Amino acid sequence: MSGMSCIQNDITTLRVDAIVNAANPSLSGGGGVDGAIHRAAGPKLPEACRKQAPCPAGEARITPAFRLPAKWIIHTVGPVWHGGTRHETEQLANCYRNSLHLARQHAVSSIAFPAISTGIYGFPNPLAADIAVQTCRDFLQQYHSPDHIIFVCFDPQTLSLYKQALHRFTKTETPAAPGQQK
């Protein structure tokens, strides 16, 4: 049974098949979640990343997770927010879709996403949460895997946004009983 959930946690600590990194196009490490992942994965990660670079916005690459408890790191590059005028919403959806395609190709059963683009890249947090949940829901409806998609939120405000988005976009439609108006 495939499903989505959200938690508040540090993504580097999770024992899942794959964690997703909000990387930059050179895959060279940076601040935020990218920095935390590079520090925790250890010195072999930069070399593995160099072989896969560059990675344009919306695309994804995969490396081993080295010292992390996860098996894989899927590096995806979110869009920098420019007021919504440069296809940022489509690019962010592509990050989730392309990460999930890579996950399926590597038989990943559980995958954890951070709130891509909502830190240094400035994407509005509520809109990003809606795009993340809707894109992953559509992917699961089409492909029925990976089994578990976990949205990892670093702060309580982001967690609350994801809880609301999951509620809004994954409510099961109950068919109206005969003779009842919906």
Give the catalytic positions in this structure. 34
Work out whether 33 is an interface residue with ligand ADP (CB under 6 A): yes
What stretches of 44-153 adopt beta strand conformation (E)? 60-64, 72-77, 110-113, 148-153
- Pick 12 or 135: Cβ nearer ligand ADP: 12
- Rule CB under 6 A: choose which of 46, 64, 119, 124 binds ligand ADP: 119
> Could you tell me which stretch among 55-63, 117-125, 130-138, 168-176 binds ligand ADP (CB under 6 A)?
117-125
- Rule CB under 6 A: choose which of 6, 17, 18, 34 binds ligand ADP: 34
Distance CA 104, CA 113 (A): 15
Q: Segment 135-164, which members bind ligand ADP (CB under 6 A)?
A: 152, 154, 158
> Could you tell me which stretch among 33-41, 54-62, 84-92, 142-150 binds ligand ADP (CB under 6 A)?
33-41
What stretches of the chain adopt beta strand conformation (E)? 3-8, 18-23, 60-64, 72-77, 110-113, 148-153
- Pick 96 or 154: Cβ nearer ligand ADP: 154
Work out whether 21 is an interface residue with ligand ADP (CB under 6 A): no
Work out whether 121 is an interface residue with ligand ADP (CB under 6 A): yes
Work out whether 127 is an interface residue with ligand ADP (CB under 6 A): no
23 contacts 121 by C-beta, under 8 angstroms: no
Q: What proportions of the chain, in percent to the nearest 5, are helix, strand and coil?
A: 40, 20, 40
Which value, to the nearest 10 degrees, does the dihedral of the CA atoms of residues 45, 46, 51, 54 take? 120
Strand-pair partners of 72: 18, 64
Please tell me whether residue 145 adopts helix, strand or coil conformation.
coil
Q: Which residues bind ligand ADP (CB under 6 A)?
A: 10-12, 22, 32-34, 36, 78, 114-121, 152, 154, 158
